[in-house]
Chain A
Amino acid sequence: MEYVVEMLNITKAFPGIVANDDVTFRLRKGEIHALLGENGAGKSTLMSILFGLYQPDKGEIRIKGKPVKIKNPNDANDYGIGMVHQHFKLIHNFTVAENIILGKEDTQWGFITKQKAIEKIVELSEFYKLKVDPHAYIKDISVGMQQRVEILKMLYRDAEILIFDEPTAVLTPQEIQDLMTIMRNLVKEGKSIILITHKLKEIKQVADRVTVLRKGKCIGTVDVDKTTEVELAEMMVGRKVLFRIDKQINEGTENILTVKNLSLVSKEHDRLLLNNINFHVRKGEIVGIAGIEGNGQSELVYCLTGLNHDYEGKIHFKDFDITNRSIRERTALGIGHIPEDRHKFGLVLDYNLAENLILQTYYQKNFQNRGFFQFTFIRNFAEKLIQTFDIRASRGIDTIVRSMSGGNQQKAIIAREVSRSPELLIAVQPTRGLDVGAIEYIHKELIKHRDQGNAVLLVSLELDEIMNLADRILVMYEGEIVACLKTDETDENELGLYMAGAKRGDISNA
């Protein structure tokens, strides 16, 4: 069997952590080889070594059987290795063609000649069925198209080995299907693909073989058609994982949140970010808001929590009109908020755990007396939360939050918000970037909160998360709610159509 890439016994250590520990990874010619692992398992490090961004401490890299040293990304390009990064590296006010040739421009008398390049691009895109308009500006094309530009960029440089880093994170379900087709076309024409991912379903769908990493160690390489998702998950996490959380679908009781004709205009672009939004949330239900990133979900949350006050329309919470109420007033009335960006909004990283756990309640009686903190009460309070919510921190409540793991940081936020028993909990991307174990824990907490008779508004980009948790699903597209669906009466394909704006549903019951 011919291998195009062999990474043999690679070890790479950073201060405090061994990112790759004796990892061996072999890529066959013409296969799609998935690299599976949780966050921090060492996938990115391994690929960065292959791409020349890091040097391994130990081990050997062979390209087509020959031992090589890859000192920088230019070397990698010379060996025919190309990478589609998770966050695209494109210039938005350049055209597709200009982005593709960037760094490899043909010139005549110092002027760029594009004609030949454009011909080559058109030829490539027809050959690999990657339809793009070379004259379109990046800012005008969809995310899926932008990804095609990234792929063409590699093909233009005659890359033979293509690395895809979490390529589906930003795509709609339909775009994901298109990408799968593209990947199959690429291997059919002799390219070899490394697919970095933590989504098991995609691996089952498209990959030939899969190598699993866990905590820097190589757990094994298996043929995809000889394994199951459950087995792969076990390899990845090291224990059995619950995929679906057992829960009943709840109808909910009376209305707790009612949003009427909510609109928001962007100050910079004079563009509608939210367009006449109407919906309600009932006690005892989890309402999921699905949508592709950047379709107004964040803005909606800002308006509901009071972080943005420039909106038009009305927001009612319980018996109050909170349209003009401040953030503090809304929090005090019983709205909890697990923010999208935990480092930006949710935590003060330089504070210790106790100081972060009182962030929403520090001003209340018991916590302070005439402006002076009651430290005994605060310490007891924080200790109790750590125990109840199983927050692991090396120095207990005195641990500086910056030094804690992402999962435990998120647990701290959830402890703080849930322990206040807010009647409405707004949870935005509550499990982003967390490992499977932490995700399981957080999902259970959210359902427990619902089962205590509270309402949860869950905003997530992960369809699986929405399908797993929500009783009712609202889909947002370009600042509007385009569908309101019962979870047990819909599926991912239907949701995908709404998310892509291809379909509009009945929203009278939203």
Chain B
Amino acid sequence: MHKFFDKNISLFSSICAIISGLIVGLIIMLFTNPSEAFSAFFTILTGGFQEGFVSISRMLYDAAPLILTGLSVGFSFKTGLFNIGAPGQLIMGAIVAIIAGVHFTFLGAFQWLIALILAGIAGALWAIIPGVLKAYRHVNEVVSTIMMNYIGLYLAVYLVKLVVYNREKNESLYVHANAVIPSIKLGNLTISWGFLIALLIIVIFHIILTRTVFGYELKTVGFNHHAAQYAGMNAKRNIILSLVISGALAGLAGGVIYLNNIGRALEVVDVLPNEGYLGIPVALIGLNNPIGIFFAGLFMSYITLGGFYMQIYNFVPEIIDVIISSIIYFSALVMLFKALLEKLGKRRNVHG
């Protein structure tokens, strides 16, 4: 058990963050409506299985873009860069996917795949600008990516109105049937290709980081950019590539969200899609590890679904936002938990 604990200290610290977040949520629920708090809380915890395979399918569907944005943030973290630009890259991917999904009907059965690829390219292009600014002019990527988020948001809104506007609903047009990402059915379980693509990217991500020269360079720059320079690595190229790949993943998430037939379109509002920002806590809880990010994305999707079902009790669904924000808050403290656990572990080793 001790050995297991030592090896999985990261995992335990993430779980600590999640449990702490849930406890905060429960406390708030107890304050607002004590009589139903526990049953509602139970619903949140079991949300992902509430309606059996229907719920599970839904959870996997919603998890795909979260995993992708989580990977986006996590990938740039590995190079020591904090890409807060995932929402902007995501919305650029989204608008390009929607345009291709509405207008490029000549592509036939491949329309969804091409639209998705274009979404990835759009996100990548959107991340090049902060990448170049960082590499050549030392502009802090946090600042530049945040600014790119808002430029992206208004550009996307403008493009919606220009080429794919649904005047009645004040949002983008629905994409063509060929542009909807297909699903496969395994008995009662429906799995979208979006989820499968996310899985594929996790595998690629893992291979790049553990087996390739490229991944070694990226990690070296992230761990110690002085040592990377000393070893003659091309820091500029690595910074740009890291942000471009990160942007491509976020753009892909945009495509995965909006190439749908469940009625979700890009609204003409001044708000960036939530999935973009959620990439940050997903990456944090997942400790920037591809497999960790996979489970963190699944968990986020699961608990959001729980919040949806919780509405049958006398609770506003915003409670779930509070819980998620608390988890986000605590996930930022993951590093602290980790340090504390390591200290505990050490102390035990000394005395034991």
Which of A's residues lie within 8 Å of B, judged by CB? Answer: 15-16, 305-307, 326-331, 337, 339, 344-351, 355, 359-360, 362-363, 368, 371-373
Contact = CB atoms under 8 A, between A and B. Distances in A.
Interface of B: 211-214, 216, 219-220, 223-224, 226-227, 229-233, 346-347, 349-350
Contacts of B349: 16
Contacts of A306: 232
Contact of A307 (B212, B219, B223, B229): B229
Contacts of B224: 344, 347-350
Contact of A346 (B211, B214, B220, B227): B227
A401 to B, nearest CB: 11
A371 B210 CA distance: 12
B212 A348 contact: no
A348 B347 contact: no
B226 A344 contact: yes
Contacts, number: 68
B79 to A, nearest CB: 13
Contacts of B229: 307, 327, 345
A29 B98 CA distance: 86
B212 A372 contact: yes
A239 B211 CA distance: 45
Contact of A359 (B212, B213, B231, B346): B231
A98 to B, nearest CB: 36
B337 to A, nearest CB: 19
Contacts of B216: 355, 362, 373
B211 A15 contact: no
Given A15-B347, A16-B346, A350-B223, A371 B213 contact: yes
A307 B231 CA distance: 10
Contacts of B223: 348-351
Contact of B220 (A15, A331, A348): A348
A34 B346 CA distance: 35
A363 B215 CA distance: 12
A360 B216 CA distance: 12
Contacts of B212: 371-373
A288 B316 CA distance: 75
Nearest to A332: B232
B339 to A, nearest CB: 14
30 contacts: A15-B350, A16-B346, A16-B350, A307-B230, A326-B232, A327-B230, A327-B232, A328-B231, A330-B232, A344-B224, A345-B227, A345-B230, A346-B227, A346-B230, A348-B227, A349-B224, A350-B224, A351-B219, A351-B223, A359-B220, A359-B227, A360-B231, A360-B232, A362-B213, A362-B216, A362-B231, A363-B213, A371-B212, A371-B214, A372-B211
A311 B231 CA distance: 20
A307 B226 CA distance: 9
A362 B216 CA distance: 9
Given A15-B350, A344-B226, A373 B213 contact: yes
Contacts of B231: 327-328, 331, 359-360, 362
Nearest to B216: A362
What are the 7 closest A-B residue pairs judged by CB atoms, nearest first? A328-B232, A327-B232, A345-B230, A359-B231, A348-B224, A348-B223, A15-B350
A14 B346 CA distance: 11
A331 B347 CA distance: 44
